[in-house]
């Protein structure tokens, strides 16, 4: 790489040999008028490194390869290694399977310059974006659910990001403190946004069909994602969980106490639910969401929406409790404890994404960018 290179396209790869030629050709075509290079950071166990070296000899864009014999940090670690090896003004991170269309790269870079952003994210969830390339309804459901959960756990850090799960983005190299990153798993963008304070912009993109090979998504990757999520955002969730646990204990004690003096278990559950709803709201205001109280709704609107949601959740939970107790041999208190555990996640999502949802601080400007994807893939070396 010469000293004038201003763009490094970082592509982490694992057994992606069939996709390399098309990827290099399309990136070269998209950046034909730019000073740019492609940097593959490869953890493959097949012939992908040999394929990359062969294509590099004839490519119309400089191609570098870092092959890691002992990979550390998974995909996130590969991206970090690429960032460390780059001295370009901008680094573009994208997958090697062509589900991230290279034709969007100039749009990312233009948005970064126009909006003076530190990082520009290709989002599937802004107007003009699409996740249709996900291979099944189940994968789309998992993706959407993961996105909702992640944004709920990081309401401030992700206030201007609609797609923290994407692996397609451009970042100004000098804006990153690489020493602050702790790469693990495969969601490097979440790691960057959670651990740094950057000016964020977004542009839409359509997540495409895989060109060749197999998806790396698996149950193991899902567990790694949850581990990464917990490591990054244990604070707010743990506070919510602690208050929820105290509320659940209080709920069960109140319900049990009322039942012991002859109150019907359904009435006892409703009374216990109302008392703990009010107490939980007051505790969450002061110990969990205290930094978000000035973001939007006033205290009475927050209390009203919290009360309405939790009241509705209590009614649904009580109805389910009735069905369980009347149709099984499970004791009421045991059934209530199980239902409270299930309701915890739902309550956390609602309060993070609705009651205390922060205001966006800057327009992402994605409406200004029209992305055109080539109908045909240029031949290698074109």
| DSSP SS3 for 172 | strand
Q: Whole-number mean pLDDT of the chain?
A: 82
Give the Cα-Cα-Cα angle 193, 199, 204 (nearest 5 degrees). Answer: 80
Mean pLDDT, residues 313-333 taken together: 88
Is residue 350 scored above 80 in pLDDT? yes
Pick the more confident residue, 363 or 185.
Answer: 185
Helix ranges, the chain (H): 17-30, 48-56, 74-84, 105-114, 137-153, 188-195, 219-232, 234-260, 265-287, 299-327, 332-350
Pick the more confident residue, 97 or 25.
Answer: 25
pLDDT of residue 379: 39
CATH of domain 7-232: 3.90.550.10
The C-alpha atoms of residue 255 and residue 264 are separated, in whole angstroms, by 10
189-233: pLDDT as tens digits: 988 888 888 999 999 998 876 555 555 444 555 555 655 565 555
pLDDT of residue 214: 54
Percent of the chain at pLDDT > 90 equals 36
The C-alpha atoms of residue 338 and residue 321 are separated, in whole angstroms, by 10
The per-residue DSSP string of 225-281 comes to HHHHHHHHSHHHHHHHHHHHHHHHHHHHHHHHHHHHTT--HHHHHHHHHHHHHHHHH
Out of 168-177, 219-228, 287-296, pick the least confident. Answer: 219-228
pLDDT of residue 375: 38
Is residue 187 scored above 80 in pLDDT? no
Query: pLDDT tier at 185 (50, 70, 90 boundaries)?
Result: low
Pick the more confident residue, 76 or 153.
Answer: 76
Query: pLDDT tier at 174 (50, 70, 90 boundaries)?
Result: very high
pLDDT of residue 4: 55
Is residue 326 scored above 80 in pLDDT? yes
* Cα–Cα nearest to 352, from 239, 230, 189: 239
The C-alpha atoms of residue 198 and residue 232 are separated, in whole angstroms, by 17
Is residue 352 scored above 90 in pLDDT? no
Pick the more confident residue, 368 or 85.
Answer: 85
pLDDT of residue 263: 92
pLDDT of residue 292: 75
Ordered by start, the domain boundaries in the chain are 7-232, 234-355
Is residue 160 scored above 60 in pLDDT? yes
Is residue 119 scored above 50 in pLDDT? yes
Query: Residue 263: phi, psi to the nearest 5?
Result: -75, 135
* Edge-to-edge strands, sheet with 63-67: 63-67, 36-42, 7-13, 90-93, 169-172, 119-123, 200-204
The C-alpha atoms of residue 165 and residue 162 are separated, in whole angstroms, by 9
Percent of the chain at pLDDT > 70 equals 81
Query: pLDDT tier at 377 (50, 70, 90 boundaries)?
Result: very low
pLDDT of residue 17: 92
pLDDT of residue 237: 67
DSSP designation for 206:
B
Is residue 369 scored above 80 in pLDDT? no
Task: Give residue for tokens 């917990």.
Answer: 230
Query: pLDDT tier at 13 (50, 70, 90 boundaries)?
Result: very high
Pick the more confident residue, 222 or 41.
Answer: 41
Query: pLDDT tier at 54 (50, 70, 90 boundaries)?
Result: very high
Pick the more confident residue, 1 or 268.
Answer: 268
Model-level pTM?
0.62
Mean pLDDT, residues 167-187 taken together: 84
Is residue 2 scored above 50 in pLDDT? no
Query: pLDDT tier at 42 (50, 70, 90 boundaries)?
Result: very high
Is residue 105 scored above 70 in pLDDT? yes
């Amino acid at each position: 790489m010469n000293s004038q290179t201003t763009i490094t396209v970082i592509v982490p790869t694992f057994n992606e040999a069939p996709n390399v030629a098309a990827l290099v050709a399309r990136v070269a075509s998209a950046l034909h008028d730019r000073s740019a290079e492609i940097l593959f950071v490869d953890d493959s166990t097949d012939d992908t490194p040999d394929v990359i070296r062969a294509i590099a000899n004839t490519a119309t864009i400089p191609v570098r390869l870092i092959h890691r014999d002992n990979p550390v940090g998974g995909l996130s670690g590969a991206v970090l290694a690429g960032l460390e090896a780059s001295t370009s003004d901008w680094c573009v991170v994208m997958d090697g399977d062509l589900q991230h269309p290279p034709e969007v790269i100039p749009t990312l870079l233009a948005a970064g310059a126009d909006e003076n952003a530190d990082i520009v994210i290709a989002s599937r969830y802004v107007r003009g974006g699409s996740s249709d390339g996900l291979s099944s309804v189940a994968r789309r459901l998992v993706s959407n659910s993961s996105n909702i959960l992640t944004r709920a756990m990081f309401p401030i850090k992700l206030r201007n990001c609609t797609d923290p799960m994407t692996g397609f983005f451009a970042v100004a190299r000098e804006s990153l403190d690489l020493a602050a990153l702790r790469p693990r798993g495969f969601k490097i963008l979440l790691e960057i946004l959670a651990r740094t304070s950057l000016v964020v912009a977004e542009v839409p993109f359509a997540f495409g069909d895989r060109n060749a090979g197999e998806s790396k998504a698996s149950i193991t990757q899902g567990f790694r994602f949850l581990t990464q999520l917990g490591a990054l955002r244990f604070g707010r969730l743990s506070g919510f969980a602690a208050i929820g646990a105290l509320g659940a204990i209080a709920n069960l004690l109140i319900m049990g106490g009322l039942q012991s003096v002859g109150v019907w278990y359904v009435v006892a559950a409703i009374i216990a639910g109302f008392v703990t709803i009010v107490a939980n709201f007051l505790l969450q205001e002061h110990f969990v969401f205290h930094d978000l109280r000035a973001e939007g709704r006033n205290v009475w609107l927050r209390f009203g929406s919290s009360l309405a949601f939790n009241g509705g959740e209590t009614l649904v939970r009580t109805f389910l409790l009735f069905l369980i107790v009347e149709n099984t041999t499970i004791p009421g208190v045991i059934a209530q404890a199980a239902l409270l555990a299930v309701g915890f996640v739902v309550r956390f999502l609602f309060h993070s994404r609705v009651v205390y949802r922060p205001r966006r601080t800057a327009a992402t400007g994605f409406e200004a960018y029209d992305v055109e994807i080539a109908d045909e893939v240029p031949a290698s070396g074109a």
